[in-house]
Chains A and B, each alone.
Chain A
Amino acid sequence: MAVSLPEVALVGAPDVSGIISTPFDRRQRRRENLELYLPLTGLVLMALACFVGPLVFPLAGPSSGSIVYANLPPFSPGHILGTDPLGNDLLSRVLYGGRISFEVGLGAQGIGLFLGSFLGMLAGLKGGIVDTVIMRIMDMLLAFPGLIIAITITTYLGPSETHVIWAISFFTVPGMARLTRAHTLRFRDREFVVSAYLCGRSDRQILLRHLVPNVIPNVLTFVSLGIGIAIVVEAGLSFLGFGVPPPAPSWGNMIATGQSYIAVEPYLVLVPGGFLFFTVMCLNLFADAVRARISGV
């Protein structure tokens, strides 16, 4: 198995590994590039379609349909994906609904990244009582089932997009705090942090100048996964009627509408469901590829 033949053969020869790439290496690298850029392209295209598409191409408004054109099947003239039971254009609704998904996903995960990583790094850096207080509160928030917290908050605050973002942040923040704290602990006792302390840097400077650049890249894969989770939770909330209120479209409430017609017009579920599935899958694949690249496996 581990025979030391190559080493013997290479004695005296210059070390060329890493300079000359074998065909196998190149094929491997091409595959890894594909695994990274294919889902990224999918995501960019989806985001462009949702945010720019309705501006560039003439589309009917997402809730301006006429009941005369209700329940048209896909590939009808003027309505490529057909219409819903109120006569609204399905393509238009799916694209406008996608905006909500992207906004909620990025918003909730953005709050998680900023607030959560700040709290986590603070807890990890300070230690002691600050650490205990912050992390026990985070633990308590994590002890509740996420969807139930989100439902409670949006019910009492009233359904709206902003409230959905805040509700989802209630579990992105503690999750991110726990993760960044673990990474901070790894760096806290390293030489560069200790020497920064010895130079008289304040906690704030150490946090911003030394910890942020080291900790944040480590959690970026989880941000990508987390955006996917936030999008799924938003869809779940809207599906249950606790998310974005109709007539504004969202993938979740479109699927909920489609459920009543599932026996006769399954495309009402399949179209928004397909968009949702595709987006979340791209986010997951992207996170996987980034993780593989960072860990070098």
Chain B
Amino acid sequence: MKNVGLTIVRSEILRVVLRRLIQSIPVLLGVSFIVFLVLNILPGGTAVALLGVNATPKLVHALDVRLGLDHPFFDRYFHWLWQALHGNLGDSLENNLPVARTLGERLQPSLEIGLAAFFEALIFAIPTAIAVARRPHGVLDRVNVAVSMFGFSCPTFLLGLLGIIVFSVNLHWLPATGFVPISAGLGPNIKSIVLPSATVAFGLFCGYTRILRADLVDQMRGEDYIMTARAKGLSQWRILIRHAFRNALFNMITVVVLNIGTLVGGQVLVEQIFAIPGMGLLLISSINNRDIVTVQAEVTLIACAIVAANLLADVLYMVLDPRIRHGRIAS
């Protein structure tokens, strides 16, 4: 019996994954096409930007020919698409290096800071939300509301600068800017990502605690199984952690997973403040230099990450909720 159940579970999940993968193909094609269109249609051409003040019409045309920009729009798009499907994202217009290699180098700091921020945010947010949900509108809850209000109202770049003023300028605990790769030693590496990741994490923390707290309170108020657990004489903590928590996770998982999609894109503002050579700074510099090959590759990569994150969210719902797993609720 158990084996049969397992195969059903597996096939159910697999089917949803497959369906979503097929659905995501037109979305990704659409996104890559729109990006291509926007980058090629907006005024201020690549050749003009690369040549700068010395641009004469003749030079611009010569550069267009060399970069292949004189071909018709659709020819270029399908050429790019064909190459991209074969893993060739083209060479940067700025420095002629393969874009795929640059992306690989830039992805590492962004991913490291993003993942660190996620762990920090979740490690603090989950216990805080449970503690706060024990007594809604109590002292802890009010303090948490105030902290969250601060977090929602303080833009990340301001928070990062406040962190620099306090921890780097006044206390001299942490470096103000710069990123030390992990190959240069674990200690300096961790020290260099503490402030940036904490800056990102604080914003996430504020959102996660409020979402999780609202859902926990909802569960504790209205649900029959909570009443049953109370009638059995279980303690409030036990009910919160063992019973309500799992059922209150859904909204938070949605938000967390959607945020994971943004990991790949990096945090533009935080990378700018802390001078971290990640995806965000790469995007800014390539947009500034009209390096459309790099921009195209990076935005398409970000879109892929977001689509993948959505897929992950659906699979997680099925793992968490047996009703969705067995197809009793339309997913």
Could you list which residues of chain A lie within 8 angstroms of chain B, going by C-beta atoms? Answer: 140, 143-145, 147-148, 151-153, 155-158, 228, 232, 235-236, 239-240, 255, 258-259, 262-263, 266, 269-270, 273, 276-277, 280-281, 284-285
The residue that A143 contacts in the complex, of B27, B165, B269, with Cβ under 8 A, is B27
Q: With A148-B265, A152-B287 in contact, is A262–B169 under 8 Å at CB?
A: yes
Could you list which residues of chain B lie within 8 angstroms of chain A, going by C-beta atoms? Answer: 27, 30-31, 34, 38-39, 42-44, 149-150, 152-158, 161-162, 164-165, 169, 176, 262, 265, 268-269, 272-273, 283-284, 287-288, 295, 299, 302-303, 306
Determine the chain A residues whose CB is within 8 A of the CB of B273 once the complex forms: 259
The residue that B302 contacts in the complex, of A145, A151, A228, with Cβ under 8 A, is A145
Q: CA separation between A228 and B153, bound complex, in Å?
A: 8
Contact B42 A157, beta carbon cutoff 8 Å: yes
The 6 closest A-B pairs by CB, nearest first: A156-B42, A281-B153, A280-B153, A232-B155, A273-B158, A266-B165
Q: CA separation between A155 and B42, bound complex, in Å?
A: 10
Cβ contacts A to B, 30 pairs, < 8 Å: A140-B27, A140-B34, A143-B303, A145-B262, A147-B269, A148-B299, A148-B302, A152-B38, A152-B42, A152-B287, A156-B44, A232-B155, A235-B157, A236-B269, A239-B269, A240-B269, A255-B157, A255-B158, A258-B161, A259-B161, A262-B176, A263-B176, A269-B165, A273-B158, A273-B161, A277-B158, A280-B152, A280-B154, A281-B149, A281-B153
Contact B265 A145, beta carbon cutoff 8 Å: yes
Interface majority SS (helix, strand, loop, mixed), chain A: helix
B42, B158, B165, B272 — most chain A CB neighbours (10 Å): B158
Determine the chain A residues whose CB is within 8 A of the CB of B153 once the complex forms: 228, 277, 280-281, 284
Determine the chain B residues whose CB is within 8 A of the CB of A153 once the complex forms: 42
Determine the chain B residues whose CB is within 8 A of the CB of A239 once the complex forms: 157, 269, 272
A139 vs chain B, min Cβ distance (A): 8
14 additional A-B pairs beyond A147-B268, A277-B154, A284-B149, beta carbons within 8 Å, are A140-B34, A143-B306, A151-B287, A152-B42, A155-B288, A157-B43, A158-B44, A236-B157, A240-B269, A255-B158, A266-B165, A269-B161, A273-B161, A277-B153
Determine the chain B residues whose CB is within 8 A of the CB of A152 once the complex forms: 38-39, 42, 287, 295
Q: CA separation between A216 and B316, bound complex, in Å?
A: 35
Contact A240 B284, beta carbon cutoff 8 Å: yes
Interface majority SS (helix, strand, loop, mixed), chain B: helix
A82 vs chain B, min Cβ distance (A): 16
Contact B158 A148, beta carbon cutoff 8 Å: no
Q: With A151-B284, A240-B272, A284-B153 in contact, is A140–B302 under 8 Å at CB?
A: no
Q: CA separation between A233 and B153, bound complex, in Å?
A: 12
Specify the chain B residue showing the minimal Cβ separation from A151.
Answer: B287
Q: With A152-B38, A155-B288, A262-B169 in contact, is A240–B152 under 8 Å at CB?
A: no
Q: With A143-B306, A259-B161 in contact, is A155–B269 under 8 Å at CB?
A: no
A243 vs chain B, min Cβ distance (A): 12
Contact A236 B155, beta carbon cutoff 8 Å: yes
Q: CA separation between A258 and B154, bound complex, in Å?
A: 17
Contact A262 B165, beta carbon cutoff 8 Å: yes
Specify the chain B residue showing the minimal Cβ separation from A278.
Answer: B153
Contact A266 B149, beta carbon cutoff 8 Å: no
A143, A158, A262, A273 — most chain B CB neighbours (10 Å): A143
Specify the chain B residue showing the minimal Cβ separation from A279.
Answer: B153
Determine the chain B residues whose CB is within 8 A of the CB of A276 once the complex forms: 155, 158
B206 vs chain A, min Cβ distance (A): 11
B308 vs chain A, min Cβ distance (A): 12
Contact B299 A144, beta carbon cutoff 8 Å: yes
B155, B169, B265 — most chain A CB neighbours (10 Å): B155
A149 vs chain B, min Cβ distance (A): 9
B250 vs chain A, min Cβ distance (A): 19
Determine the chain A residues whose CB is within 8 A of the CB of B165 once the complex forms: 262, 266, 269-270
Q: CA separation between A143 and B24, bound complex, in Å?
A: 12
Contact B169 A263, beta carbon cutoff 8 Å: yes
Specify the chain B residue showing the minimal Cβ separation from A272.
Answer: B158
Contact A140 B30, beta carbon cutoff 8 Å: yes
Q: CA separation between A285 and B152, bound complex, in Å?
A: 10
Specify the chain A residue showing the minimal Cβ separation from B283.
Answer: A148
Q: CA separation between A143 and B284, bound complex, in Å?
A: 19
Contact A240 B42, beta carbon cutoff 8 Å: no
Specify the chain B residue showing the minimal Cβ separation from A156.
Answer: B42
Determine the chain B residues whose CB is within 8 A of the CB of A140 once the complex forms: 27, 30-31, 34
Determine the chain B residues whose CB is within 8 A of the CB of A145 once the complex forms: 262, 265, 302
